[in-house]
Structure 1
Amino acid sequence: MGVPVGVRWEVGAFLGLTAATGLIDAVSYLKLGHTFVANMTGNVVFLGFAVAPGSGFRLGPPVVAVLGFVLGSLLGGRAARFLEARPRRWLGIAFGAQAGVLLLCGLLVGVGVLRDSGGTSYLLILALAGCFGLQNATVRHVAPKDMTTTVLTLTLTGLAADSVLGNGRAAPPYRRLGSIFAMLAGAAAGALLLQVTMAWVIVLAGVVVASAATIFLLAPAD
């Protein structure tokens, strides 16, 4: 279905969501036990690695991440079912809720309630993965082609396969390149900021997602 905002606003919002993914996956992989909260393919692979003794991978973090992601996806699916007839409200609520949880997580990390180790780290993984399950369940209904906001495999495939050296269609590469750059920039910014603070990386991701929610609620349709 179409997004009820102008194309430039739409693309900007989805690029912002992609950058937020890079920010939070930097947190989860570098600080929360080598797991991803947005990229479930990686977690399934990590579960396989964890079977081997001495691999350095633990079962707990990816299991919790997959669980949180599934729960978030279920909530996203229910929201789509009941609200997709009112797309502005639907997208605003879904991404607004995601932003709210991210900001709350950042606050709780900042005051020391949630930490990057120990039992509370699992609560943080669960909450962050739920956020990106919700994001994925929502984006799959509305995102332009190859702007999935969380994985770049199809984006890179399309960029190469549709190029002059591929099938010759020479599809405009701008959105695909934008998605790649947004993910890279988010991950790089997250990795750099993590040297100083984890809380503010999560808060920054929440602000970016909140901006996307505002775009879907208020941006003009042309």
Structure 2
Amino acid sequence: MSEPVGARWEVAAFLGLTAATGLIDAVSYLKLGHTFVANMTGNVVFLGFAVAPESGFRLGPPVVAVVGFVLGSLAGGRTARAMERRPRRWLGTAFGVQAGVLLICGLLVGLGVLETTGGTSYLLIVALAACFGLQNATVRHAAPRDMTTTVLTLTLTGLAADNTLGNGRPAKPYRRLGSIAAMLAGAAVGALLLQATTAWVIVLAGTLVALAAAIFRLAPAG
């Protein structure tokens, strides 16, 4: 797929999406029963931990997160298939929908309609996980190499392996370092803000995703 916007705009958008992931995973892990809504590898491990009664992990949150993530990924895949030939509209629409759902979740949490404990927490988990399933499915088709926006395992592997000390081939590490820094910053800011508010952490993540959507719709081409 041709790049719909200039390379710097594109990288900025994907770094914003990565920071949003850090923010929301801070919410889901610290407030929603030790689960992740963007990192499904962690949820599979948590499901294994939950088999041991004394582990402190519950089956419900990761199961709901996986279901929501799969549904969001399905929607993202169908959207990509239908709109991939119009990349500006596709990416702007996909991330715009994600931003809208995040902002609505933040509003509902702020109003007390959705809570981080009890039955409504599961609705929040499935909605957030669907958002990041949609993001993953979209990024899978569109992102530059190593900018997955949700999982840093391959990014760290590439950073260590693809250099003169590793495979002997010089490589520019800036995007990889930027992805790591964005995820770290998002998680740190999320953890700090959660001491005072959950709703505004979700709103902040939604705002970052909305900015990414705006970049893909409006930024100049390369």
For 1:51 and 1:164, the matched residues in 2 are separated by: 44
Question: What residue number does 1:220 align with?
Answer: 220
2:100 maps to 1:100: yes
2:27 maps to 1:14: no
Please tell me the residue identity of whatever aligns with 2:43. Answer: N
2:190 maps to 1:190: yes
In the TM superposition, residue 38 of structure 1 has moved relative to its aligned partner by 0.1
2:145 maps to 1:145: yes
Question: What residue number does 1:90 align with?
Answer: 90
For 1:87 and 1:71, the matched residues in 2 are separated by: 22
Alpha-carbon contact 1:2-1:142 (below 8 Å) kept: no
For 2:124 and 2:57, the matched residues in 1 are separated by: 18
Residue ranges of structure 1 left out of the alignment (5+ in a row): none
Please tell me the residue identity of whatever aligns with 2:120. Answer: T
Question: What residue number does 2:63 align with?
Answer: 63
- How does 1:39-188 map onto structure 2 within 5 Å? 39-188=39-188
**Secondary structure at the counterpart of residue 54 of structure 2:** coil
Residue-pair matches, total = 222
TM-score, normalised by the number of residues in structure 2: 0.99
Q: 1:91-138: per-residue Cα shift (whole Å, max 9, x none)?
A: 000000000000000000000000000000000000000000000000
**RMSD (CA atoms):** 0.5
**Secondary structure at the counterpart of residue 42 of structure 2:** helix
In the TM superposition, residue 3 of structure 1 has moved relative to its aligned partner by 2.5
In the TM superposition, residue 217 of structure 1 has moved relative to its aligned partner by 0.2
In the TM superposition, residue 163 of structure 1 has moved relative to its aligned partner by 1.9
**Secondary structure at the counterpart of residue 116 of structure 1:** coil
Please tell me the residue identity of whatever aligns with 2:93. Answer: I
Please tell me the residue identity of whatever aligns with 2:214. Answer: T
Q: 1:11-38: per-residue Cα shift (whole Å, max 9, x none)?
A: 0000000000000000000000000000
Q: Percent identity, aligned pairs only?
A: 84
**Secondary structure at the counterpart of residue 54 of structure 1:** helix
Q: Which runs of 4+ in 1 moved over 6 A?
A: none
**Secondary structure at the counterpart of residue 55 of structure 2:** coil
For 1:187 and 1:176, the matched residues in 2 are separated by: 17
For 1:130 and 1:205, the matched residues in 2 are separated by: 14
For 1:3 and 1:134, the matched residues in 2 are separated by: 20
For 2:83 and 2:53, the matched residues in 1 are separated by: 47
Q: 1:78-102: per-residue Cα shift (whole Å, max 9, x none)?
A: 1001111111000000000000000
